[in-house]
Amino acid sequence: MRTKHLFASTGIRLALIYGGLVLASFSLAIALTWVAARSAAESDLRDRIRLEVEAMEQEIRDEGLAAAIAAIEVRAERPGALEYWLVDGSGQHLAGDLPLMNTPDGWHRIELPDAAPGAENREEMLVLTATMGDGSRLSVGDDLRRAEAVRDAVLRALLWIGSATVLLGLVVGVVVTRRALAQVDALTETLGQVSAGRLTARFTPRAGRSANDLDQLGLSVNRMLDHIDELVGSVRRVSRDVAHDLRTPLSHVQQRLEQARSAATAEERLQAIEAAESKVEEVLRAFDAILRLAEIEAGAARSRFVELDAALLIERLADAYRPDVEASGRTLITDGTDDVWLRGDSELLSQALANLIENAMRHTPTGTRITISAQTDGPTVRITVSDTGHGIPAERHSDVLETFVQLDSSRGTAGFTRKDAWGNGSGSGSGLGPGFGLGLSIVAAIARLHDAVLELGDASPGLRVTLTFNRVSGQAA
């Protein structure tokens, strides 16, 4: 993996940003700690010096100057003792070795040169000078550097911890990013193979570990590629079928035009032209159905979804089709219940049911009863179109849902054909499916668009087609 690729990744950039934020936070914390610790150390030192001055003043007042001198000499010998400077009223030095103490009363911060008497490696002293009741003057001080030693130790600890945290964060970020980039490279390679035309290429997630977000992304890409592969295969199959099935009607058109050209009379010429026009109309209807199917599968109609009453939809469709059904020697009945509301496109649902009715009319014998029902089943709505015809063998149910697959003239036979799909009339109604092997394909596409389940079953006798939708609460529409 190239270093340039590594440092150009989002992961390592985030690691650097987070490391910088941690470093800046620690720097700010160190600065605030330094100020607070310095102030606290100086405040503690001032309290200690002030108490010592008050104690020595009490000593001089109660025991006299000689007792104070003895006390200073004893205290000065203790480890970590304060520094003293005591002079009498005339300025005569009496005790202590605090250097350069010709200062007025009050607090003083004194920088000591290395060669100053009594400096003892001190650099900066904090001193309080006060005049006693007998006229003597006392100065008490201590080294600020010693008081700030603890502060410096805390600051060094914070600095080391902050540096170690940033370094550890960067190391972990690099390791994690390298692993993530390996997965990204694998996913990129998979997509590159797909773009080169190898639609079977798939991303392989890490073995033996729980799936992380990149594994989930890769699996999602695999599912997308599976769907694309399926769609491409479907397009290829449909394109092949269309090219194959267009030969028959176009050959018929060519034959009719040749008949028209060689016709002996005007009447024969007109009949041949009308027959050619009829075949062209069939081809155009087939292309309309294909375009309609493509629009449905693209999901463009979802914007027209509304809440609708399935029972009312069925009654209206039955009223429109009943005259044609009865004229064909069959009967159409409905069976609906209340509160069968679902969300969908009423036009497409009407199209699906119309295709099922026309399919039943086309492939059942005279005297068949066609039933449309809408029933509730818990959280779902079931719309069923059944007939009492010959039915379809169970092993062929999935076949009839494919495009350009059509039963032979008798639906009770086990064979299917594409050859005769263009030879029959289009039937009444929509003209967008029945007669071309597209009717049930459009129904299946409409079901997928509505997230519905399409099932073909045995009506004993006949075929039963069931569409199962999610139920919604009824509203005035």
Q: What does the DSSP assignment read for 330-399?
A: -EEEEEE-S--EEEE-HHHHHHHHHHHHHHHHHSS-TT-EEEEEEEEETTEEEEEEEESS----GGGTTG
- Rounded CA-CA distance 395/373 in Å is 25
Structure confidence by residue, pLDDT tens digits, 289-315: 677 766 666 665 677 788 999 889 999
**Residue-level pLDDT at 432:** 39
- Rounded CA-CA distance 19/34 in Å is 22
**Residue-level pLDDT at 168:** 80
Whether 23 and 164 have beta carbons less than 8 Å apart is answered as: no
Pairing of strands 369-377, 380-387: antiparallel
Mean pLDDT of the chain: 77
- Rounded CA-CA distance 202/223 in Å is 9
Query: Three-state DSSP class for 145?
Result: helix
Q: Is the pLDDT of residue 9 over 80?
A: no
- Rounded CA-CA distance 131/57 in Å is 9
Q: Where residue 326 falls among pLDDT bands split at 50, 70, 90? A: very high
pTM: 0.48
Q: Is the pLDDT of residue 187 over 70?
A: yes
Q: Span 36-42, mean pLDDT?
A: 75
Q: Span 223-234, mean pLDDT?
A: 81
Q: What percent of the chain has pLDDT over 90?
A: 12
Q: Span 382-405, mean pLDDT?
A: 76
Top-confidence residue, 114 or 31: 31
Exposed / middle / buried, residue 102 (Cβ in 10 Å: 0-12, 13-18, 19+): exposed
Which of 16-20, 227-231, 383-387 has maximum average pLDDT? 383-387
DSSP string, 81-131: --EEEEE-TT--EEE---SS----SEEEEEE--TTSTT-TT--EEEEEEEE
Top-confidence residue, 404 or 427: 404
Q: At what angle do helices 213-262 and 149-195 cross, to 10 degrees?
A: 20
Q: DSSP label at 471?
A: B
Q: Where residue 476 falls among pLDDT bands split at 50, 70, 90? A: very low
Q: In angstroms, how far is the first alpha carbon of the chain from the final one? A: 61
- Look at the chain and count its residues: 477
**Residue-level pLDDT at 381:** 92
Q: How far is CA 196 from the centre of its chain?
A: 28
Q: Give the chain's radius of gyration (CA, Å).
A: 49
